[in-house]
């Protein structure tokens, strides 16, 4: 494919994806507020609440060529942005791993995620900064971690 055809294809694909995003049903578009301060980028309406879903995930690499099996756990999404002084609700859903007790260090928020169950924590952050969400079962590499996500609190 020559440069001009490639450029036209890329532009057409980008426009199609953008149009699809603008016309997506509300239940699909709602996911965009996890990473922005608006319910949908096109309409610029402020999000009424700071409510997010986080799942436990596991990545495994099988043993091969003398390298042992490797396994690591993580939170998905691994980074959220919220506003100081506004209530936050986090729903943790246990998908992988038996149990993940956690702490949001610096904010005093704690919980325990069990496989197949939802753990909900509600709090109002009172300080600005980036706070680690640490799984106490998997805090280090030798314990299949670190299983850490980050909560960024902004003004």
pLDDT score, position 128:
96
Query: Model confidence at 21, in pLDDT bands (50, 70, 90)?
Result: very low
pLDDT at 86: 94
Among 61, 153, 57, CA closest to 107: 153
- The pLDDT tens digits for 61-103 are 888 888 888 888 888 999 999 999 999 999 999 888 888 899 9
What is the phi-psi region of residue 35: left when phi exceeds 0, alpha when psi lies from -120 to 50, beta otherwise?
A: alpha
3-state SS, the chain, equals: CCHHHHHHHHHHHHHHHHHHHHHCCHHHHHHHHHCCCECCCCCCCECCCEEEEEEEEEEEECCECCECCEEEEEEECCEEEEECCCCEEEEEEECCCCEEEEEECCCCEEEEEEECCEEEEEECCCCCEEEEEEECCCCCHHHCCCCEEEEEEEC
Question: What pLDDT, in 10s, does the model give residues 96-155?
Answer: 888 889 999 999 999 999 999 999 999 999 999 999 999 988 877 777 678 899 999 999
Does residue 45 surpass a pLDDT of 80? no
Q: How confident is the model at residue 18 (pLDDT cuts 50, 70, 90)?
A: very low
- Residues present in the chain in total: 155
pLDDT number for residue 143: 74
Confidence of residue 51 (pLDDT cuts 50, 70, 90): very high
The top-level CATH class assigned to 49-154 is: mainly beta
Distance CA 68, CA 39 (A): 44
Of 115, 118, 146, nearest to 132 by C-alpha is 146
The arithmetic mean of pLDDT across residues 20-46, rounded, is 44
112 or 58, which is more confident: 112
């Amino acid at each position: 494919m020559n440069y001009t055809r490639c450029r036209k294809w890329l532009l057409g694909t980008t426009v199609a994806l953008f149009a699809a995003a603008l016309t997506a049903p509300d239940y699909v578009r709602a996911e965009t507020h996890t990473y922005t301060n608006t319910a949908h980028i096109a309409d610029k309406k402020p999000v009424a609440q700071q409510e997010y879903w986080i799942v436990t995930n596991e990545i495994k690499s099988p043993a091969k060529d003398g390298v042992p099996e490797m396994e690591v756990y993580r939170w998905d999404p691994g980074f959220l942005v919220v506003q100081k002084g506004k209530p936050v609700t986090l729903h943790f859903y246990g998908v992988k791993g038996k149990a993940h007790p956690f702490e949001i260090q610096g904010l005093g928020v704690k919980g325990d995620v069990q496989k197949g169950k939802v753990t909900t924590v509600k709090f109002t952050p009172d300080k600005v900064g980036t706070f680690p969400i640490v799984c106490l079962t998997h805090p280090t590499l030798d314990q299949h971690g670190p299983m850490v996500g980050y909560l960024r609190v902004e003004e």
